[in-house]
């Protein structure tokens, strides 16, 4: 199970104190209906604004050291950190797939008038590119709280931070890194995005949201990278299945509603020359 941020929602009274931060994490983890899921599979997690601090919080949040410690205590990922930083980031492998868990809060700045704004920060981006370039995995999954490929400059989409987004896309293209799939949440709707970086190089993004909170029923935005028919505007979850012979893998994504009924499926073949 991969949790894509906003796994708990801090209230205003919570994130000002250590006791409040740990209370909210404990309260969420104690939900009765969650226990069978927690007990029956591996769990990995990233954070977004609501389990980092206030709504739409950036790196200036004063209690981020406390929320990081609590997150690490409740989500024991295999590893944390990028050398020289306190990033809530890490990496793990599952079969022949690699997963890169990004931190979209610690290095986030406001949207400066100068345009020199960032979400991931240069050190985390170079860590990611080095890891992607070195990876021999069939698929390289990049988990990040907010949407990366959606071109609509709304809410907290990476499109608002155009310079950093373009830089990361350019680095993936320059290094010819194939079979990269972004995984994101945040938006309270689900969709699949696809972007061609060259004639034979593309990247995809799977947004899966929300699991239990309210869904946005009215989504009206111009997203140039949206895969037609993939938009889902109700509570849902997605499963990822990688199958096929080595070097001929394919990724199958299936979305389900709260009753376990299939809503949409999409397939991504392995790109040659990885």
Instruction: Provide the pLDDT for residue 193.
Output: 98
pTM exceeds cut of 0.95: yes
Full set of structural domains in the chain with CATH:
2-233 (3.60.21.70)
> Given this model, what pLDDT does residue 115 score?
83
For residue 274, pLDDT beyond 80: no
pLDDT (mean) for 121-127: 97
Three-state SS string over the chain comes to CEEECCCCCCCCCCCCCHHHHHHHHHHHHCCHHHHHHHHHCCCEEECCHHHHCCCCCCCCCCCHHHHHHHHHHHCCCCCCCCCCCCCCCEEEEECCEEEEECCCCCCCCCCCCCCCCCCCCHHHHHHHHHHHHHCCCCEEEEECCCCCCCCCCCCCCHHHCHHHHHHHHHHHHHCCCCCEEEEECCCCCEEEEEEEEECCEEEEEEECCCCCCCCCCCCCCCCCCECCCCCECCCEEEEEEEECCCCCCEEEEEEEECCCCEEEEEEEECCCCC
């Amino acid at each position: 199970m991969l949790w894509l941020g906003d796994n708990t929602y801090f209230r205003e009274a919570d994130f000002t104190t250590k006791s409040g931060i740990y209370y909210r994490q404990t309260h969420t983890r104690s939900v009765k209906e969650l226990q069978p899921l927690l007990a029956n599979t591996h769990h990995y997690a990233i954070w977004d604004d609501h389990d980092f601090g206030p709504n739409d919080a950036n790196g200036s949040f004063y209690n981020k050291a406390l929320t990081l410690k609590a997150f690490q205590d409740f989500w024991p990922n295999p590893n944390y950190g990028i050398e020289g930083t306190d990033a809530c980031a890490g990496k793990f492998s599952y079969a022949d797939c690699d997963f890169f868990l990004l931190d979209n809060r610690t290095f986030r700045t406001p949207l400066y008038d100068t345009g020199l704004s960032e979400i991931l920060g240069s050190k985390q981006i170079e860590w990611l590119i080095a890891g992607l370039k070195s990876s021999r995995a069939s698929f390289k999954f990049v988990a990040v709280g907010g949407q990366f490929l959606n071109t609509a400059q709304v809410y907290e989409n990476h499109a608002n931070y155009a310079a950093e987004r373009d830089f990361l896309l350019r680095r993936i293209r320059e290094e010819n890194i194939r079979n990269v799939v972004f995984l994101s949440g945040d938006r309270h709707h689900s969709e699949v995005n696809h972007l061609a970086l060259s004639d034979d190089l593309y990247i995809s993004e799977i947004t899966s949201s929300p699991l239990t909170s309210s869904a946005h029923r009215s989504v009206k935005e111009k997203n140039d990278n949206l895969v037609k028919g993939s938009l889902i505007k109700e509570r849902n979850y997605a499963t990822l299945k990688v199958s096929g012979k080595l070097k001929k893998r394919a990724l199958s994504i299936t979305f389900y509603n709260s009753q376990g009924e299939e809503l949409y499926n999409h397939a991504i073949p392995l790109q040659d020359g990885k």
